[in-house]
Amino acid sequence: MGRRRTPELYRAPFPLYALRVDPSAGLLIAAGGGGAAKTGIKNGVHFLQLEQINGRLSASLLHSHDTETRATMNLALAGNILAAGQDAHCQLLRFQIHQQKGKNKAEKAGESLPQGPRQRKGAAPAEKKSGAETHQEGVEFSVENLHEVQTDFSRDPLQKVVCFNHDNTLLATGGTDGCVRVWKVWFGEKLNLGPGKLLVTVGWDLKASVWQKDQLVTQLHWQENGPTFSNTPYRYQACSESGTFLGLGTVTGSVAIYIAFSLQRLYYVKEAHGIVVTDVAFLPEKGRGPELLGSHETALFSVAVDSRCQLHLLPSRQRGPGPHCSLHLGPQLRLPRIRLMGSACPSHLKPGSGPVQP
């Protein structure tokens, strides 16, 4: 039997490192690039429109945003706000999408228009100057740089992880200096604080720590409590919105989907990408998620250095009688140690409490 082939949703003109899904607009957001090296490989964030066409989930390029000399290595999404890890900094971006008002002559005459995305004949001067380009007629798409802040201060600084809390009032970042920094975030609107203020971090020291503010709540030592490691380590993971499924990507390019509470493997494609998987994300279960999912139980997206975004579909299973269990997992950060730090920061980002060394 030959190797299972997975649907390729999109191929970018640069290596892909980060991936997020906006359920309200049905957008798949993929980012990466070649960095500051003058190799001719661009850096950018691509916004893809997800839609069902003839019963199949597909993606088409809606808008491309040029990030100049910085490759985006990690992403977090809060509504229409993106937190992008670029070198030692976290860049806040706001994107907005609007359908253009009015109809063209063909629509007024009742003529049918070709379906699917089409390349615009020419971008507006501002778009050409910034390297941004919208690839679908009848759509106005804008990306605004809100603010940036340095989040890593090591000798070779690099932000490696970023995530928002459940109500988008806090932003956690972690980098090669082994520190987690928590920032207060607001976007000019009222945000309600809800229950659950725990942060979960996972580091190369094989420890998983649960924190409440700067206090260590509990800790798991994997060598003492966990099973034996496989020969192929998992590099990136994601948990579905309900906590039911766990998606994993390996350094050899393989992709798997597990049941979170039992770790039963439901889906596995060996070397789907053939090179290290850099990020995975589930199709959310709210917004346009159910509509886009169709008859499948869940969908996992994966990206890799091979510039490809792949789709992994899990067919619906027959559920037997009895209760359905699920496990809710918090944000995971791969860091060897953790501390909260505070420093002056203007405008949209302000750090939390002062330095605490656990």
Q: Distance between CA 83 and CA 85 in Å, rounded?
A: 7
Residue (of 208, 228, 278, 282) closest to 249 by Cα position: 278
**Residue of higher predicted confidence among 28 and 102:** 28
Confidence at residue 334, expressed as pLDDT on a 0 to 100 scale: 42
pLDDT digits (tens, 9 = 90+) for 294-311: 999 999 999 999 999 999
Does residue 183 contact residue 350 with C-beta atoms inside 8 Å? yes
Nearest to 283 by CA among 337, 343, 242, 325: 242
- For range 186-215, the mean pLDDT: 60
What confidence tens digit (pLDDT) does each residue in 151-167 have? 999 999 999 999 998 88
Q: What pLDDT is stored for residue 98 in this prediction?
A: 84
Counting residues of the chain whose pLDDT is more than 70, the rounded percentage is 68
What's the confidence (pLDDT) of residue 117? 40
* Length of the chain in terms of residues written: 358
pLDDT in tens, 218-231: 877 755 554 454 55
What's the half-sphere exposure (Cβ side, CA atoms, 13 Å) at 186? Answer: 10
Q: Answer whether residue 34 shows pLDDT above 70.
A: yes
Q: Please state the pTM of the whole predicted model.
A: 0.75
